[in-house]
Structure 1
Amino acid sequence: MTALGTVDEAYAHCAEVTRKQARNFYYGIRLLPPDKRAALCAVYALARIIDDIGDDTEASAEAKLQGLAGVRKSLGDLSATADPVYVAVADAARRYPIPLGAFEELLDGVEMDVTGREYVRFEELVEYCRCVAGSVGRLCLGVFGSRPEPNAPVYADELGIALQQTNILRDIREDLLGGRVYLPKEDLDRFGVELSVGPDGKLADPEGGLTALIHDSAARARDWYSRGLRLVPSLDGRSAACCTAMSGIYRTLLDRIDEQPARVFDRRLSLSGREKAVVAFRALTGIGR
């Protein structure tokens, strides 16, 4: 028995968490058949717990690290807790080849955020993206399953890294206000950018260097999407639709940012519910794959 009564209720809890908080992923997750949808909601709910610990603005760094250590302990013995999220993850891992070690990598990435880290070279940023997003790509692949393809985990990893690069470009201002800079120092120096927020609340870009940097970074992210989307042909139809929908939403965001970088200078850009639904529909019908 779980804190909510049954394994089914544990899955229902995870589904509700995902519906409320996975503003982009949920549009793809809904395209999966019920069993896979439930398993992926469980994966998302645990990833959400980890992210929320790192993003807690009221907790000290020490408290965050203790919280992350607690998750590591629970992952070591999923049967030792009645928390519905862990109950659902444990059941999902019995049903699907979910690489639970990828949660450890996600924890490593969130610890990088908590302890603070400067990214001098792009390769260092890739390491971070692999931890916080490539890991999620590999967890999703465990639920999706794939036809024999030895490079499938690599492609899933690369697709996650592409999504995270999009997040970074979307959230430059928000991250800066929170004391975090993910753009590599070598890129900032190359384009002569000193990140700052002006008195009008917008990212400053007096010489246009930030705009040029965003264009360059968007082109690089597109290359990672091209590499990661090699995963899709090895997936079954519904899993391919889910993957294509989730990545399509972020690729559309990337296109919007690249078309007009100033859109992220004063806000956190997002797509409307209708726009996300259109992307999901196109993924389900195979349009644009």
Structure 2
Amino acid sequence: MTSRELDAAGITEPGLREAYRRCREVNARHGRTYFLATRMLSPAQRPAVHALYAFARRLDDLVDEPEPGTTPEGLAATLHEVERNFRTELAAGRSDDPLRTAVIDTAARLEIPEPHFTAFFTSMRMDLTVTAYPTRAALDTYVHGSAEVIGLQVLPVLGTVVPRAEAAPRAAALGKAFQLTNFLRDVAEDLDRGRVYLPADELAAEGVDRDRLAWCARTRQVDPAVRRALADQVARTRRIYAEARPGIPMLHPASRPCVWTAFTLYGGILDRIEAADHNVFAGRAAVPRHRRLLAAGDALVRAQWARRRHPVAVA
């Protein structure tokens, strides 16, 4: 992490500065698109985003990429220990682990409630045992901890021009919309991991089950029933984006270009799925590189202009 970012954020203690630098390295290495998006935020905002990303990334990797030979029971025990240690350290306000040190400092500075982290651990535990979701309500429970709370964690970093509680439902909806978009894009990849993140009852209404999805994944084709089911899921996800959109003007002006760009590009993935006639099995739906670069360039200019007119205060 650059000294400019740390200085702008008011982070002066040497050990803490090193902890945030480690988080920035994780973000730069594993979350390249996300890392580039942080460049649209002010220097003072970036360290906290890096800390939150690095913490979530470590837990994701723990669950999705366990060490060879790790049993489900052993993985569950490890996750339980990590959560227990984190909650103890969060209460104490300190940790010996660099990534947890940074996120604990971020949580304290920005007054991020502990339940936002607890819910994330809950969803990570669900990924150890749950491979399908029978209803939308069941999926919503998972998505709250895996995505909505991420929006709520980042909201204090972005800042608001309204009371935070007023913007919170919109931030949660945006996190949810992004996650649901990932689920649609990654149906085949998730099947390879033995998981289906689409509500079984909604799929069944179109005559679709796991076996039919697996056939599509094997053949890289999409049949009419699956096409209808995926079209229905796209429409439902678009409604979540519509719920989230009014939250963007509620953000600090300097944060709006970054979030609007993410909103536009992620929503563009749904456009690509529709353009492929909902065949998410033939290849990963992605917004063309030239469109991403154009959107990012425009957002960066707008972000720089907004930061000059509306400086971000240090937490």
Give the TM-score, by structure 1 length: 0.88
Secondary structure class of the residue paired with 1:26: helix
- Measure, in 2, the Cα distance between the counterparts of 1:196 and 1:188: 10
Please say which of residues 29-38 and 240-249 is displaced more in the overlay.
240-249
Query: Match for residue 181 of structure 1?
Result: 196
| Cα deviation digits, residues 36-75 of structure 1 (max 9, x gap) | 1111110010011111111025432222212221231232
Query: How many Å apart are 1:158 and its aligned residue?
Result: 0.9
- 1:15 equivalent in structure 2: 24
**Superposed, which structure 2 residues align to 1:57-136 within 5 Å?**
57=66, 58=68, 59-76=70-87, 77-78=89-90, 79-136=93-150
Structure 2 stretches of 5 or more lacking a match? 1-13, 304-315
Counterpart in 2 of 1:34? 43
Distance 1:213 1:283 in 2: 34
How far has the Cα of 1:8 moved from its partner? Answer: 1.4
Match of 1:154 in 2: 169
Larger-Rg structure: 2
Counterpart in 2 of 1:226?
A: 242
Report the AA paired with residue 65 of structure 1: A
Q: Is the CA contact 1:173–1:266 (under 8 Å) kept in the aligned structure 2?
A: no
2:297 to 271, 274, 281: 281
The 3 A distance-change label for structure 1 pair 199 and 269 is closer
Distance 1:202 1:42 in 2: 41
Q: Aligned partners of 2:258 and 2:78: how far apart in 1? A: 31
Percent identity between the two aligned chains: 31
For structure 1, list consecutive stretches of 5 or more residues without a partner in the other structure: none
Q: Identify if the C-alpha distance between structure 1 residues 234 and 200 changes in structure 2 by more than 3 Å, giving closer, same or farther.
A: closer
Post-superposition Cα deviations, 1:232-264, rounded to whole Å, max 9, x if no partner, equal: 111112211222222222111121112214552
**Residue 243 (str. 1) matches residue 269 (str. 2):** no
Whole-angstrom distance in 1 between the partners of 2:277 and 2:118: 34
- Check conservation: 2:23, 2:102, Cα contact below 8 A: yes
Contact 2:217-2:281 at 8 Å conserved across structures = no
Query: Which amino acid in structure 2 is aligned with residue 11 of structure 1?
Result: Y
Q: Number of paired residues?
A: 282
Question: Could you say if the C-alpha distance between residues 143 and 212 of structure 1 is closer, same or farther in structure 2, counting changes exceeding 3 Å?
Answer: same
For 1:197-216, list aligned pairs within 5 A.
197-198=214-215, 201-206=218-223, 208-216=224-232
Matching residue of 1:52: 61
